Chain A
Amino acid sequence: MKYIIQLGLILLIFCAVASGVLAFVNSKTQPVIAARKALEEEQTRKELMPEAKVFEEKVSAEDSTFIYYIAKDDKDALLGYCFIAAKRGYSSVIRTMVAMDDKYTIINMKVIDQNETPGLGTLCQDKAFPERFKGRGFDELKADKDGGTIQSITGATITTRAVISSLKDAIQILKDDLAEIEVPADMQTEVKPLDKKALRALKNRLEVLPEAKTFVEKKALADSNFVYYIAMDSLNKSIGYTVEASKQGYCSEIKLLAALDNELNIRQIKVLNQDETPALGAECQEGYFLKRFNGKSANALKVDKDGGMIKSIAGATITTRAITNCLRDTITKLKSELQARNTGGSK
């Protein structure tokens, strides 16, 4: 026993000395590494936008990890934006620095960090690759394999797709952050005009239930994490509900917003967030698919492959099933919540 403790102590001493040395080296190199990284990024920004004199740093209100720069020339006129888009490619996270003009058209870009397959995916760092993106707007960002016009790197479609999709995500966040969100003037709301996240949520609710004039936020009695909104018209009469729901799809978390009428039949749904397989599961945000749910009650929500009525997206049954089941579960939950409130109120 004594021997074991002795061994443990010796090992402890070794580890303590090693950690001490490491802490010392880390304290010396950390600032150098950070400064070098910042300098490198600054140089890349200048390389991409040589006309810009000032880069104003901004942090996205919704996603605090997303930092972008507003580029201005010497007369303080807006030139565009600069940011880093990142996404996992085939074997590494690919980070791309992008410069855009004020109309969200790509001026130039550069892949600054990647570890893809040598000779294939690594070609994204060649001069030829950014050329394929220059002058393109948000809607033109689509690989040729997905029906777009951006030429993929031969043998590295996944790398190409990752870069494109990282750009789209980043531009979306940038647009969202810069956009002024307008809410109809007669809308009764307590949301502060600066709270973009809340404003956007309100805008989404309005999109699925345009007739509403007020949304009253309610928390479920049984589960305070379950939030839903009662939509009222101008006479303060309830015209339905909106509720958010999410579920794991095939390769991503799918977030939905559903508008229901007073009988809890679906009026309209909207996909807030998904990252499913392009051209298959990603079809779930298209209007033709979302229409399949309109007018359905909880009992009618069943995928055709499971003997129900909801037609699946070809090749994306798992995505369809996730959405359908998610809606059914959420509506059922809302139903029991409303019943609980009713019986509670009549007592």
Chain B
Amino acid sequence: MTFLNELTKGFIKENPIFVIVLGMCPTLAVSTSVNNAIGMGFAATFVLICSNIIISMIKDITPDKIRIPIYIVVIAAFVSIVDMVMAAYTPALHKSLGIFIPLIVVNCIILGRAEAFANRNTVLSSLADGIGMGLGFTFSLIIVATIREILGSGTWLGFKVMPVTYDPMLVAILAPGAFITLGFLMGMMQMMKNKRSR
């Protein structure tokens, strides 16, 4: 029960983007296309799972005073591994994610989960939390990216979905479009929550 709970909370109840509002920088920057969103989401998920497991494993030997630098070392190491492996085996994805991969280091979802969850829970539930939060992040990124890509380029995952006569709304894939989309989605999320609690 609890394992399943940890796994699913990332999607709606504790969605890292729409509810906890963590990791805004990568969300705004890479949600221009669904392809980027999926790549970024899975890269971040991988790092999140690995760092959650390791941090939960070493929580007893980590002195409280220096836990943050240690977390950063662990996270940065995983990000560098992801960066190198992606550059070697999926160069196209690596190219389109570009500078955002190193940015995973400072993605506050990862440090936030390490601090709020992994360092006081068992390895198993930290793994579940990592998967749940990571997929929740990926899921939210894909939603934002779907709206932006369809409106801004008239495509979805690179395929044309809008009629030929559709003139792409450029603003959607520029920075303002990210904020506008995110604002609407957060508002809708809150509305749903309010309705349910009533």
Contacts and interface: CB of A to CB of B under 8 A. Distances in A.
A29 B66 CA distance: 32
Q: How large is the interface on B (under 10, 10 to 19, 20 to 34, 35 or more residues)?
A: 20 to 34
A119 B175 CA distance: 12
A25 B84 contact: yes
Given A7-B65, A22-B80, A15 B73 contact: yes
Nearest to B170: A119
A115 B88 contact: no
A25 B63 contact: no
Contacts of B123: none
B66 A11 contact: yes
Contacts of B170: 119-120
B66 A7 contact: yes
B73 A29 contact: no
A113 interface: yes
Interface in A132-185: none
Nearest to B33: A118
A15 B63 CA distance: 15
B159 to A, nearest CB: 17
B161 interface: no
Contact of B74 (A14, A40, A117): A14
A144 to B, nearest CB: 21
B70 A11 contact: yes
A247 B134 CA distance: 53
B124 interface: no
B57 to A, nearest CB: 12
Contacts of A22: 77, 80-81
Nearest to B70: A14
B174 A117 contact: yes
Contact of B174 (A25, A26, A118): A118
A7 B85 CA distance: 32
Given A10-B63, A11-B69, A115-B98, A33 B74 contact: no
A38 interface: no
B55 to A, nearest CB: 11
A172 B57 CA distance: 59
Interface string A2-22: 000011001100110010011
B168 interface: yes
A11 B74 CA distance: 11
A290 to B, nearest CB: 42
Contacts of B73: 11, 14-15, 18
- Judged by DSSP, the binding face of B is helix
A8 to B, nearest CB: 8
B168 A33 contact: no
B99 A115 contact: yes
Contact of B87 (A6, A15, A29, A118): A29
B89 interface: yes
A36 B91 contact: yes
Contacts of A272: none
Nearest to B61: A10
Contacts of A29: 84-85, 87-88
Contact of A113 (B33, B80, B95): B95
Contacts of A340: none
A32 interface: yes
Contacts of B130: none
A33 B84 contact: yes
Nearest to A8: B66
Interface in B56-83: 61-63, 65-66, 69-70, 73-74, 76-77, 80-81
A26 B66 CA distance: 27
B146 interface: no
Contacts of B66: 7, 10-11
Interface of A: 6-7, 10-11, 14-15, 18, 21-22, 25-26, 29-30, 32-33, 36, 40, 113, 115, 117-120
Given A18-B74, A29-B85, A118-B174, 7 more contacts: A7-B63, A10-B66, A14-B74, A40-B91, A118-B32, A118-B152, A119-B168
28 contacts: A7-B63, A7-B65, A7-B66, A10-B61, A10-B62, A10-B63, A11-B73, A18-B74, A18-B77, A21-B81, A22-B77, A22-B80, A22-B81, A25-B81, A30-B84, A32-B88, A33-B84, A33-B88, A33-B91, A40-B91, A113-B95, A115-B98, A115-B99, A117-B174, A118-B32, A118-B174, A119-B170, A119-B173
